[in-house]
Structure 1
Amino acid sequence: MPEQVILQIETATQVCSIALAANGVTIVSHDVDEPNVHAAKLTLLIMEVMRSNGLSFSDLAAVAVSKGPGSYTGLRIGVSTAKGLCYAADLPLIGVDTLAGMAEGFLASYAGQIDENTRLCPMIDARRMEVYSAVYSDQLEPIRPTRAVIIDDQSFDSLAPHQRTILFGSGVDKLVERFAGHEQVTVVPGFKNSAGHLSRLAYRALADGLLEDVAYFEPYYLKDFVATTQKKS
């Protein structure tokens, strides 16, 4: 079977990330974790990764993009760039759920440490105590759908007893103290989004023909964007 090479884009959080994957396996990923760099660096990262791996866009089978939920600005830039590439190179477009990609990446990073009594809860920071989150089993089956939620001490009480829920992603830093010493909730800080986490899901979508309409595809913002202005002192 010939290699199906997919260019993958992840801009749902502060991390600006590009990856190349062949048949669902990440070849290379390049992540830049700096604030407000997506507009300035995304296209440059794409060209750099393509050039350094000796690829042209005609060598690609598709372009995949993390579709949300996440940062309004980041998602808009990532999806717009992906759509532009697909238009220019006549390539299929794949949209990958951001939280599902995070769960894939976390499970791969902690292989052998996640069992059937573990629930995975990727979180993306929203405002104040609110996060975008979902819950998955150790087999990455959805248990709780994607939603915007304000986290409190009882947020995970409805999950099955005697099971551990692991919280990770950009939304967990504000939760470390809240769940310190909690028997059933473990907070793992430091996990960052990466386009390399999308590889298996993107390849499976391509194989199953689950492609987006390039003309009409929009990010999954989950919540409407609300512009704010700085208060005068």
Structure 2
Amino acid sequence: MALLLHIETSTRVCSVAVSRDGAVLFHKSDREGPAHATLIGPYLDGALAVIEQQGVPLDAVAVSAGPGSYTGLRIGVSAAKGVCFGRNCPLIAISTLALLADTYRRRSDSRRDCMIRPVMDARRMEVYTALYDVDGNEKEAMSALVVEPQTFEAELSKTPVVFVGNGATKLATLNMGDRAIFQSDIEPLAEQMVTLAEQAFSDGRFVDVAYFEPYYIKDFVATVKKQLIPHN
């Protein structure tokens, strides 16, 4: 368990949080964005004040790794690196897709008879996506897809699939059948990063502070999904 700073700026929401031993001590967010460049400084000031009150060094900084907004991620990652260099602590990168899946998975009303497919809106009918089971295991790595009504036909024939994130609204316009469930209200937030960040810290999964770069939606290259059935 550790004292961690969390920064999430992959979407229009700018959020910062502090956790210690898994408990959230501070969180601040704004959903009106995009105003990340204006908000990140005051949010970090508040977070660092709480960290100083703990009387122990900051153990690590967790930051959203994308995919997401080019501008938002650049601001968040730059801020995270600045804190890491200033505090001489490691950097943890959290996938936005993994965060969305984990946020849904830990909701009290989440389904247990399904697969979870986080979807980040890119442009037109394009999304970034991955696939997770209800225990948080990645079953399909992140990819950029052009989505059509039949794109997820194979997995929907086997099990219900919950589509979570801002791309779910786009997918809901397609005729994908009764097994497709859409949760567009789930957002990636800093205070929701705690579980994944704690796991990464415990495992020693850090990224190079100097050279880390997130996955920018700006560089989107889409493909048409092959009809693959995920492994059990």
Match of 2:212?
217
AA paired with 2:188? N
Structure 1 residue 151 corresponds to structure 2 residue 151: no
Structure 1 segment 113-192 matched on structure 2, within 5 A: 113-115=110-112, 117-159=113-155, 161-179=157-175, 182-192=177-187
Question: TM-score scaled to structure 1, two decimals?
Answer: 0.86
Q: Is the 8 A contact 1:24 1:204 kept in 2?
A: no
**1:82 aligned partner, one-letter code:** A
Q: CA deviation at 1:174?
A: 2.1
Aligned length: 221
Equivalent AA in structure 2 for residue 213 of structure 1: D
Q: CA deviation at 1:138?
A: 0.7
Question: Aligned AA for 1:118?
Answer: C
**What are the Cα deviations for residues 50-88 of structure 1, in whole angstroms up to 9, with x where unaligned?**
335763796311111011111111111111110011111
Q: CA deviation at 1:144?
A: 1.8
Structure 2 residue aligned with 1:231: none
Q: Distance in 2 between matches of 1:225 and 1:148?
A: 7
CA apart distance, 1:167: 0.8
Distance 1:25 1:201 in 2: 13
In the other structure, the counterpart of 2:197 is 202
For residues 215 and 117 of structure 2, what CA distance do their matches in structure 1 show? 18
Whole-Å separation in 2 of the counterparts to 1:62 and 1:213: 12
Letter matched to residue 180 of structure 2: V
1:35-184 map, 5 Å: 35-51=33-49, 55=53, 59-109=57-107, 111=108, 113-115=110-112, 117-159=113-155, 161-179=157-175, 182-184=177-179
User: In 2, Cα distance between the equivalents of 1:113 and 1:56?
Assistant: 34
1:4 Cα deviation after fit: 1.2
C-alpha separation between the residues in 1 aligned to 2:12 and 2:217?
Answer: 17
Structure 1 contact 70–221 (Cα < 8 Å) conserved: yes
CA RMSD of aligned residues (A): 2.2
- For structure 2, the 5+ residue unaligned runs are 222-232
TM-score (normalised: structure 2): 0.87
Question: How far apart are the structure 1 equivalents of 2:45 and 2:88?
Answer: 17
